[in-house]
Amino acid sequence: MLDVQSIYIIHGEDAKRMVIESLEKLELFKELSPTMRIGIKPNIVLEKHSSSGATTSVDLIDGVVEYLKMKGFNNITILESSGIGHNTQLAYKVTGLDKVALKHNIELIDLKGQPTVTLSYKDFNVQVFKKVQEIDYLINMPVVKAHCQTNITCALKNLKGLIPDNEKRRFHRDRLHRPIAYLNKIINTDLIIADGIMGDLTFEEGGNPVRMDRVLIAKDPVLIDRFVAESIGYDPKEVAHVDISATLGVGKSKIDKAKIVELNAPVKKQELYKRSYLIESLAKKIREREACSICYGSLIFALKRLKDNGKIIKNTDYIYIGQGYKDFVGEGVGVGNCTKGFSKFLQGCPPNANSIVEFLEQNL
């Protein structure tokens, strides 16, 4: 049986086989009933295959669905809304998730444009897609990744795909951490199956894939996110949404009593996964106020491209980005529609990394 205090780890490369074997061992079926509507929330933040390190492995999702169907649970829905400016339908195609859904004859929902309902916890209100309320048992399937604004992204932040784009923008205006924690107080995750087969320890958007060859299973999102933060080299205190979630009582376990249960031995010696300091050094050129992750991530990516191309950015040159500059009028170089008051700015909401590279080449 799944113990709420435990994080289960299975090592290997064959995501599908690994997850089926793990769920068998952990007897997941004992938590479920045939009438339950089971929701799977992957991380399909953008139109990139999981080999990029950005999105959940479809083999892993395939394994979860196959296990559930083998046990007679057929009422399964996969649901997601990709990041701001990205197309969920196209992302389903690129990742191959559309084929998995077709093969198993299960519902694959693009939440973008679907009706929403306002839900609350204390003074915090948020619009959530109505479909979420139809789910009886939510399986959260994030990717183990770094994030350019929150340092890491795993289970807690993955629920942001269950709210519409206008709310995602508001979350960024509110600095992400508190709203993410409160969202997790409103939407309950029943099980987390985190893709640590291939992650990205530099960017949320992938492009620097790191093979980690492991899948993490847990019931408590705070527990698993703390573990992921520590295993990449962050003090959990550096990931404020984990800390706030713990204070709010998201999750059901006692953090100091967490148990790590390895379901098999690693095939090869496990490397130590290191936090990347690249983002921190590139970010020194940015003056950010309430920027959306997609916009900010594209700017970081563009700065990396410029650095790789040998472009030297002067110490006195800064690039401004974010919703907090909407009312600003004055001198400077801005990226995105929010900075239209700057003397030089790049249009787009969000602009893509290529256009940012061209713009900065001409304007810095």
Min separation Cβ 138 and ligand SF4, Å: 27
Residue 125 vs 166, nearer CB to ligand SF4 = 166
Letters for 213-252 (x = contact with ligand SF4 by CB under 6 A, - = none) are ----------------------------------------
Q: Is 169 in the site for ligand SF4 (CB under 6 A)?
A: yes
HEC string for the chain? CCCCCEEEEEECCCHHHHHHHHHHHHCHHHHCCCCCCEEEEECCCCCCCHHHCCCCCHHHHHHHHHHHHHCCCCCEEEEECCCCCCCHHHHHHHHCHHHHHHHHCCEEEECCCCCEEEEEECCEEEEEEHHHHHCCEEEEECEEEEECCCEEECHHHHHHHHCCHHHHHHHHHCCCHHHHHHHHHHCCCCEEEEEEEEEECCCCCCCCEEEEEEEEEECCHHHHHHHHHHHHCCCHHHCHHHHHHHHHCCCCCCHHHCEEEECCCCCCCCCCCCCCCHHHHHHHHEEECCCCHHHHHHHHHHHHHHHHCCCCCCCCCCEEECHHHCCCCEEEEEECHHHCCEEEEECCCCCCHHHHHHHHHHHC
Alpha carbon distance 242, 144 (integer Å): 14
Among 252, 262, 349, 354, binds ligand SF4 (CB under 6 A): 349
Min separation Cβ 240 and ligand SF4, Å: 20
Min separation Cβ 169 and ligand SF4, Å: 5
Residue 312 vs 329, nearer CB to ligand SF4 = 329
CA distances from 170 to 53, 167, 178, 294 (A): 26, 5, 12, 14
Q: Segment contacting ligand SF4 (CB under 6 A): 28-36, 251-259, 301-309, 330-338?
A: 330-338
Q: Is 84 in the site for ligand SF4 (CB under 6 A)?
A: yes
Min separation Cβ 55 and ligand SF4, Å: 20
Q: Is 164 in the site for ligand SF4 (CB under 6 A)?
A: no
Min separation Cβ 11 and ligand SF4, Å: 38
Among 164, 196, 206, 322, binds ligand SF4 (CB under 6 A): 322
Q: Contact 176/149 with Cβ under 8 angstroms?
A: yes
Min separation Cβ 166 and ligand SF4, Å: 10
Among 171, 350, 357, 359, binds ligand SF4 (CB under 6 A): 350
**Phi, psi for 301 (deg, rounded to 5):** -60, -45
Residue 60 vs 295, nearer CB to ligand SF4 = 295
Letters for 256-295 (x = contact with ligand SF4 by CB under 6 A, - = none) are -----------------------------------xx-xx
Among 336, 342, 346, 360, binds ligand SF4 (CB under 6 A): 336
Q: Is 139 in the site for ligand SF4 (CB under 6 A)?
A: no
Alpha carbon distance 195, 60 (integer Å): 7
Residue 43 vs 323, nearer CB to ligand SF4 = 323
Min separation Cβ 174 and ligand SF4, Å: 13
Q: Is 337 in the site for ligand SF4 (CB under 6 A)?
A: yes
Q: Is 338 in the site for ligand SF4 (CB under 6 A)?
A: yes
Among 57, 95, 150, 323, binds ligand SF4 (CB under 6 A): 323
Q: Which residue has the tokens 């109505």?
A: 130
Q: Is 352 in the site for ligand SF4 (CB under 6 A)?
A: no
Q: Which residues bind to ligand SF4, rule: CB under 6 A? A: 84, 169, 291-292, 294-295, 322-323, 336-338, 349-350
